[in-house]
Amino acid sequence: MSAMTNTLPGSGTFARGVHPPERKGLSGPKAIEVLPTPKQVAIPLLQHTGAPCEPAVKPRDAVALGQVIGTSQAFISAPVHASVAGVAQMGSVATLPNGRHVKTVPIKAEGAQLEGEALLVDVFGGDWPTQGLHTHEPKAIAQAVRDAGIVGLGGAAFPTSVKFARNEAKPVDVLLVNGCECEPYLTADYRLMMEYPAPIVTGALLAAHAAGAKRVVIAIEDNKRDAAEKVRAAAGGTHVEVAVLHTKYPMGGERQTILAALKREVPTGGLPLDVGVVVINVGTAAAVARAVLRGKPLTHRVVSVTGAGVREPKNLLVPVGVSYGELIDFCGGLTDDAARIVAGGPMMGFTLADLSTPVTKGTSGVTVLTRDDVRRAEQTNCVRCGRCVDVCPLRLVPTKMAMAAKFRDWELAKRYHLQACCECGCCGYACPASIPLVQLIRLGKAQIPKE
């Protein structure tokens, strides 16, 4: 297979970035398993970018799998649904990995549940047509996606229906499906492409029709050539193109994927829409197909449980709202030298302080690191070496932004485009002084509006 399809203008890569150890062999070979139905889930009413939902059920109400339990009328929002059948409990509050406190609707599982192989078939199995999809009205597709509560499953959790809202001033000509999954360790998207490529292709075609895009490109890094072949085979007979890009972190960032595949550069502070592109994740595409063709909401997602600190790394199909602790227990528990549990991957993830924290729609994995993994040099002063600048894929100056945040110099922070940082972690990875650059930048982003 060539590094790129010859019909795409991009070079297959982007400037800067880093090459951290991939370590995907821990969970990559493991087929998706279904987590047994937990006794209780706690479903956050805010697990997406935008406005939080308000409860649509009361304590002691009986709820069915897929029933709406939280709604919002805001444009940028997404409803939430019951991921198990059971009885709603008294509302509570959970602290998400990013430190945000959110209201939850706990549901105690009761009665018959859809689980095991039947759940896998219901979510990903069966026939997925690729012809005749143009009969679905674009607005109807967007509404079905909104009603299903679909958000970006790559981690950003932006409401997908909003991306399908057409803007006459900024027409879209390319729908780009991101299957790069560049974060070390994580393999949820890889397993989905390997085992269930058909709903990804169908969802991509539906999404392109909704957004008004004539071209559909699925981008995959070249460390997943077997997955690219599976997707290419599933796309046979359609106009979907598969772009195999060079493996580099953060290739999964939408700006980097667009540049590498399409040779279009999203302006600083801009959006893919500014260059005529809509980007969705492969998992999101599969969820779109299920919502539009089968009327099913987003209640489950694939999560990688991986790292040398967990006894049996796996890829699991899990209900939204299950605790991280239950995922780890199902994978054999922690090893004796486990030292840090990260929600997500080690580059962009957040350290977990409480294993009762619930999984959200945006949870792509949980990585358990050992003492050897987290051992690092003691933090020293910045030596102005410029390595953070050399690796920043957005051509920012991370040390300036971090120091501006540390000393609360908001004018300087704005001058260096603090809000444009994608928090990929390349700067912190390359910093010889071990300065927590990303953490300082995140702190600054949170504080600027308060000033």
Q: Which structure tokens are listed for 179?
A: 């299957």
Predicted confidence (pLDDT) per residue in 276-287, tens digit: 999 999 999 999
pLDDT of amino acid 26: 98
User: Where does the pLDDT of residue 3 fall: very low under 50, low under 70, confident under 90, or very high at 90 and above?
Assistant: very low
User: Where does the pLDDT of residue 2 fall: very low under 50, low under 70, confident under 90, or very high at 90 and above?
Assistant: very low
Predicted confidence (pLDDT) per residue in 426-436, tens digit: 999 999 999 99
Q: Does the pLDDT value for residue 196 go beyond 70?
A: yes
Torsion of the alpha carbons at 84, 90, 95 and 101, rounded to the nearest 10: 120
pLDDT of amino acid 10: 87
Average pLDDT over residues 175-186: 98
Predicted confidence (pLDDT) per residue in 261-309, tens digit: 999 999 988 999 999 999 999 999 999 999 999 999 999 999 999 999 9
Give the Cα separation of 39 and 242 in Å (integer): 41
For the residues of 289-317, what is the DSSP string, one character each?
Answer: HHHHHH-----EEEEEEESTTBSS-EEEE
User: Where does the pLDDT of residue 450 fall: very low under 50, low under 70, confident under 90, or very high at 90 and above?
Assistant: low
Give the Cα separation of 155 and 108 in Å (integer): 27
Average pLDDT over residues 391-396: 96
Q: Does the pLDDT value for residue 6 go beyond 60?
A: no
* Chain CA centroid to CA 430, Å: 24
| Helices 282-294 + 197-211 axis angle, to 10 | 80
- Sign of dihedral through CA atoms 16, 305, 245, 125? negative
Average pLDDT over residues 230-234: 98
Average pLDDT over residues 215-219: 98
Average pLDDT over residues 19-28: 97
What's the start-to-end Cα distance of the chain, in Å? 53
For the residues of 138-165, what is the DSSP string, one character each?
Answer: HHHHHHHHHHTT-B-TTTT--BHHHHTS
Average pLDDT over residues 313-337: 98
Put residue 17 in one of left, alpha, beta given phi > 0 → left and psi -120 to 50 → alpha: left
User: Where does the pLDDT of residue 1 fall: very low under 50, low under 70, confident under 90, or very high at 90 and above?
Assistant: very low
> Please, what is the average pLDDT of the chain?
95
Average pLDDT over residues 189-196: 98
User: Where does the pLDDT of residue 155 fall: very low under 50, low under 70, confident under 90, or very high at 90 and above?
Assistant: confident
Average pLDDT over residues 355-367: 97
Give the Cα separation of 202 and 199 in Å (integer): 5
Other beta carbons less than 10 A from residue 253's beta carbon: 27
Average pLDDT over residues 33-57: 96
pLDDT of amino acid 448: 85
Average pLDDT over residues 3-28: 86
| Helices 197-211 + 225-234 axis angle, to 10 | 70
Torsion of the alpha carbons at 294, 108, 304 and 355, rounded to the nearest 10: 150
Single-letter amino acid, residue 62:
A
Number of residues written out for the chain: 451
Express as a percent the part of the chain with pLDDT over 90. Answer: 93
pLDDT of amino acid 5: 45
Express as a percent the part of the chain with pLDDT over 70. Answer: 98
Give the Cα separation of 120 and 127 in Å (integer): 13
pLDDT of amino acid 134: 94
Predicted confidence (pLDDT) per residue in 88-139, tens digit: 999 999 999 988 999 999 999 999 999 999 999 999 999 999 999 999 999 9
Average pLDDT over residues 442-447: 90
